Structure 1
Amino acid sequence: MFQRPQHLLSRAAQTHRVIFFEEPIRKPAAPDLPRLERHPTPSGVEVVVPILPDNMDEAASEDAQRVLIDGLLAGTRPDIAWYYTPMSLGFTTHLKPVVTVYDCMDELSAFRGASPQLTLLERRLLRQADVVFTGGRSLYEAKLGLHPRVHLFTSGVDAAHFAQSRALRDAGTPGPADQENIPHPRIGWFGVIDERMDLALLDEVAALRPDWSFVMIGPVVKIDPASLPQRPNIHWLGGRRMDELPAYLAGWDCGFMNFALNESTRFISPTKTPEYLAAGVPVVSTPIKDVVRSWGAEGLVGIADNAEDTVAAIEAAMAKPRAEWQPKADRLLAQGSWDGIWSSMHDLLRQAASTKVAGDGAVSSRAVASPNHV
């Protein structure tokens, strides 16, 4: 997945050393464990993965990760500790960075399988953080009274990347082999397939319109693959790289965000909404609060909460000429570039650093980042 953390930290890597400290992978106990695997990326971000023995308990795991991260930093003090999960506090509170950032992109405590410690650890992180960013308006409103410096940065869009879909579509370029023979109209989804997806709604809509094809792209996470609805017109293609997505989107007639309405989706602000629109694909969504307020109110996303209304909304979205809605979408998308978001965030980091370090109005060239659960 190439989402908010990857977009922001790849831009941070243009001026900072960025180490993305991943969640651990468990393997059978061996003499060389625990250890770190280090993976450079083309963006300049170094991804670091702790490999821990599978018989290590939680306390020992935190101790091991603390030793590993200390060895990685070799005694240097990080300028920035950038958190996507409060669970990383267990092995990083001793680092004493110049600036601590909490970029809250999800209400992780509401996710299936979330640690019971998450809520308590988030309170600790909010006390330690110098600045808090949120990935959606609902999250912003939820965190606003918990920290004096909470800033709303809804997720942006790499408009140029996804706009490749329009050029491919207009040119009649053949699509990916595993999609090319799927009949139109194609209704598509890309993203993680987990407990946030309303699988029953997908099944009902597919049953109502057996002449429509539903193309589902993404990894299945935290749910039993056997729970996925199986119909001749539902096509589960698995995960794809970000650079492959425009070719798939070029062959879609509508995007379908069939999010369930539950605690895990209460605060979400899906990044795929602007990505679909940038690709020139009309969108229908269940009534996720941030989608309704940001995109439904602008008439750019159809909203429906049951199968019959969803079918009607998709039909209306596909019937509306792209020339009628694309210019308005493009104007709004231009306000949410990842470059602009990172520039504004970086200014706030400079301000936070200058407040803590007298006379120093700039953040220097090292950052430590810890990962999200998604």
Structure 2
Amino acid sequence: MQRADVVFTGGYSIWEAKRALHANAHAFPSSVDVAHFAAARAPQQEPADQADIAHPRLGFYGVIDERFDVELLRSIATQRPHWQWVMIGPVVKIDPAELPQADNIHYLGGKSYDQLPGYLSGWEVALMPFAMNASTRFISPTKTPEYLAGGCPVVSTPIHDVVRTYGDTGVVRIADTPDAFVAACEAALRDGADREQLLETADQVLGDMSWDHTYDLMKEKLTWKQ
């Protein structure tokens, strides 16, 4: 790091941990391609493997690995058997046999980036059920602004960067226990019922989080040696 002229970190938590190592370090939380995910705000043709899943649907997309709280999913799916839990993404670094199995949990496998808005548009709540462990200590999940751009209220475990950036927005609810997570999902379902207010607040939160804006800010920080 000392050989670098400038250091960019992918979020505030890693910046807070490393800023003492470099005098010119700057935090850049996850950005979003708003236009791509905003397609989920309009009705989409249901993907075939999601079309027959009942509502309400509460979904997650991303890699299902050691960062994913398997026991949290097991508990919340048991507590709310009439809710449908849609899990999208490849299973890596963990044994698939460890994943909870139930009639209301649906593992749809990995999907392409272009397919994600089509799935997101069919959900009532978007989830970030991350485990609180060493693997998640410094993450700044890109899916947070993606979910919001898609017009979905979000429920997350208390990941530091999520709490810092979105914790008081009203469209991202934070929960640290299975019971609290279920309660937060119930509140998020109510939030989604006022669609106009949800979208207005989400847009205010997203503000200047585009990748283009992040690029411009990074470019301003670059000072080339002559």
State TM-score, norm by structure 2: 0.95
Q: Distance in 1 between matches of 2:123 and 2:198?
A: 16
Q: Distance in 1 between matches of 2:27 and 2:114?
A: 28
Q: Distance in 2 between matches of 1:217 and 1:228?
A: 13
Q: Within 5 Å, give how 1:49-198 maps onto structure 2.
A: 126-168=1-43, 173-198=44-69
Q: Larger strand proportion, structure 1 or 2?
A: 1
Structure whose alpha-carbon radius of gyration is higher: 1
- What is the aligned partner in structure 1 of residue 163 from structure 2? 292
Q: Which amino acid aligns with 2:109?
A: G
Aligned-residue offset at 1:318: 0.7
- What is the aligned partner in structure 2 of residue 227 from structure 1? 98
Alignment deviations for residues 112-154 of structure 1 (CA, whole Å, 9 cap, x no partner): xxxxxxxxxxxxxx12222110111111111110111101111
The question of 1:281 aligning with 2:156 is answered no
- What is the aligned partner in structure 2 of residue 338 from structure 1? 211
- What is the aligned partner in structure 2 of residue 325 from structure 1? 198
- What is the aligned partner in structure 1 of residue 134 from structure 2? 263
Q: 5+ residue gaps in structure 1?
A: 1-125, 358-374
State whether residues 125 and 155 of structure 2, in contact with CA within 8 Å, keep that contact through their aligned partners in structure 1: yes
Alignment deviations for residues 142-167 of structure 1 (CA, whole Å, 9 cap, x no partner): 11101111011111111111000011
State whether residues 151 and 198 of structure 2, in contact with CA within 8 Å, keep that contact through their aligned partners in structure 1: no
Give the secondary structure class of the aligned counterpart of 1:336: coil
- What is the aligned partner in structure 2 of residue 201 from structure 1? 72
Q: Which amino acid aligns with 1:283?
A: V
Q: Which amino acid aligns with 2:20?
A: G
Aligned-residue offset at 1:330: 0.5
Aligned-residue offset at 1:244: 0.4
Q: Distance in 1 between matches of 2:33 and 2:2?
A: 33
After superposition, the CA RMSD in angstroms is 1.2
Q: Which amino acid aligns with 1:298?
A: T
Q: Which amino acid aligns with 2:142?
A: T
Alignment deviations for residues 74-96 of structure 1 (CA, whole Å, 9 cap, x no partner): xxxxxxxxxxxxxxxxxxxxxxx
Aligned-residue offset at 1:343: 1.8
- What is the aligned partner in structure 2 of residue 117 from structure 1? none
Q: 5+ residue gaps in structure 2?
A: none
- What is the aligned partner in structure 1 of residue 89 from structure 2? 218
Aligned-residue offset at 1:341: 0.7
How many residues are matched? 224
Q: Which amino acid aligns with 1:147?
A: H
- What is the aligned partner in structure 1 of residue 220 from structure 2? 347
Alignment deviations for residues 253-294 of structure 1 (CA, whole Å, 9 cap, x no partner): 101111001111111111111110110111111111111121
State whether residues 63 and 89 of structure 2, in contact with CA within 8 Å, keep that contact through their aligned partners in structure 1: yes
Q: Distance in 1 between matches of 2:4 and 2:97?
A: 41
- What is the aligned partner in structure 1 of residue 124 from structure 2? 253
Aligned-residue offset at 1:324: 2.1
Q: Which amino acid aligns with 1:142?
A: A
